[in-house]
């Protein structure tokens, strides 16, 4: 019912002038309230429109920034790949000539000269390994993924057999508990993740106890989570937050370039998963990672 109709009805039904005036005053107050509310409503609708326009623009800006960032990341990645690849040729030349020099100088050279030559050869080898790791990292974080459906137990068994020599040499026991499950992934890259984590577990063993590695997995909704647990030297607390960074090593007396975990992280994240660790110094380390099923 309209307020005017209400006023009309009241004036016909209320006989007392005072009561009628009171009722009409109340109706006027309601009319004023309604005016204020509709004004506020109008303002709110306008504000909402402006906010939603602003939000749409912000989302578009963010999408553009995101795209620019990923373009420039991709470009940077390609430069790194080209630079690392092209540096390998001159390095091979230096290494080749250093080897030739080493052969021809064996008799005539002094001890110090042979030592200098050995430094050159060792540095060439280290630099070659670093370039290989940089190439691998740039292809893990960029480049195309060749997704296939694979049986994960086959892939893990293949990794163990590739590391057979090191496993026997270190007398490492490996226990598995992995269900036969198929996953969609780039098998070459995921194999590299398992190889990196297994070889770390075999490398950083505590000399005071026989090395044991437990490999487990469990399914959680759309994800499958793997864990690789060792009873090795562990990683000091202060190094744990940065352990996945490139070229990061706790103890440089062990072989390696410090790129293995950075490659693992880049690969797992490109597959939509995540990787993390738990470690107690002198007790052991467990690396966890997830993959989409």
CA distances from 239 to 235, 277, 280 (A): 7, 11, 12
162 in contact with ligand ATP (CB under 6 A) = no
CA distances from 130 to 108, 137, 202, 243 (A): 33, 10, 21, 17
Q: Quick one: which of 150, 155, 215 has its CA closest to 183?
A: 150
Site for Mg ion in 260-279 (CB under 5 A): 260
Q: For residues 167 and 261, which CB has a smaller minimum distance to ligand ATP in the complex?
A: 261
| Among ligand ATP, Mg ion, none, partner that 142 touches (CB below 5 to 8 angstroms by kind) | none
Residue 55 Cα to chain centre, angstroms? 28
State the maximum Cα–Cα separation within the chain, in Å, rounded to a whole number: 133
Distance between start and end Cα atoms, the chain: 61
| Among ligand ATP, Mg ion, none, partner that 123 touches (CB below 5 to 8 angstroms by kind) | none
Q: Which residue has the tokens 């991709």?
A: 74
| Among ligand ATP, Mg ion, none, partner that 98 touches (CB below 5 to 8 angstroms by kind) | none
Closest residue to Mg ion: CB criterion: 260
Interface residue with ligand ATP, options 187, 211, 232, 273 (CB under 6 A): 232
Per-residue interface string for the shown chain with ligand ATP, residues 78-117, x marking contact by CB under 6 A: ----------------------------------------
Q: Which stretch binds ligand ATP (CB under 6 A): 1-9, 36-44, 71-79, 197-205?
A: 197-205
Q: Which stretch binds ligand ATP (CB under 6 A): 47-55, 61-69, 161-169, 193-201?
A: 193-201
How would DSSP label each residue in 158-219? HHHHHTHHHHHHTT-EEEEE----EEEE-HHHHHHHHHHHHHHHHHS--TTS--EEEEEEEE
Interface residue with ligand ATP, options 29, 86, 113, 251 (CB under 6 A): 251
Site for Mg ion in 195-224 (CB under 5 A): 200
Residues that bind Mg ion (CB under 5 A): 200, 260
């Amino acid at each position: 019912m309209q307020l005017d109709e209400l006023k009309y009805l009241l004036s016909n039904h209320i006989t007392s002038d005072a009561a009628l005036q009171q009722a009409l005053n109340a109706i006027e107050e309601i009319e004023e309230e309604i005016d204020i509310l509709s004004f506020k409503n109008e303002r709110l609708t306008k504000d909402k429109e402006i906010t939603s326009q602003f939000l749409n623009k912000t989302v578009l800006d963010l999408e553009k920034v995101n795209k620019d960032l990923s373009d420039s990341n991709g470009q940077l990645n390609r430069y790194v790949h080209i630079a690392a690849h092209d540096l390998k040729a001159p390095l091979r030349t230096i290494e080749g000539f250093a080897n030739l020099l080493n052969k021809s100088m064996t008799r005539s050279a002094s001890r110090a000269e042979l030592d200098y030559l050995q430094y050159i050869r060792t540095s060439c080898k280290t630099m070659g390994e670093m370039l290989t790791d940089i190439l691998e990292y740039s292809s893990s974080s960029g480049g195309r993924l060749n997704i296939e459906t694979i049986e994960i137990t086959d892939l893990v068994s293949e990794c163990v057999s590739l590391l057979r020599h090191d496993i026997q040499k270190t007398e490492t026991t490996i226990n598995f508990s992995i269900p036969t499950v198929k996953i969609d992934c780039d098998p070459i890259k995921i194999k590299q993740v398992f190889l990196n984590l297994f070889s770390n577990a075999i490398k950083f063993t505590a000399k005071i106890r026989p090395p044991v590695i437990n490999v487990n997995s469990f399914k959680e909704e759309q994800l499958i989570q793997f864990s690789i647990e060792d009873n090795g030297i562990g990683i000091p607390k202060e190094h744990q937050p940065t352990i996945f960074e490139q070229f990061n090593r706790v103890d440089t007396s062990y072989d390696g370039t410090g790129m293995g975990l950075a490659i693992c992280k880049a690969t797992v994240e490109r597959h939509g998963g995540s990787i993390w660790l738990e470690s107690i110094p002198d007790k052991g380390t467990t690396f966890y990672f997830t993959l989409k099923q």
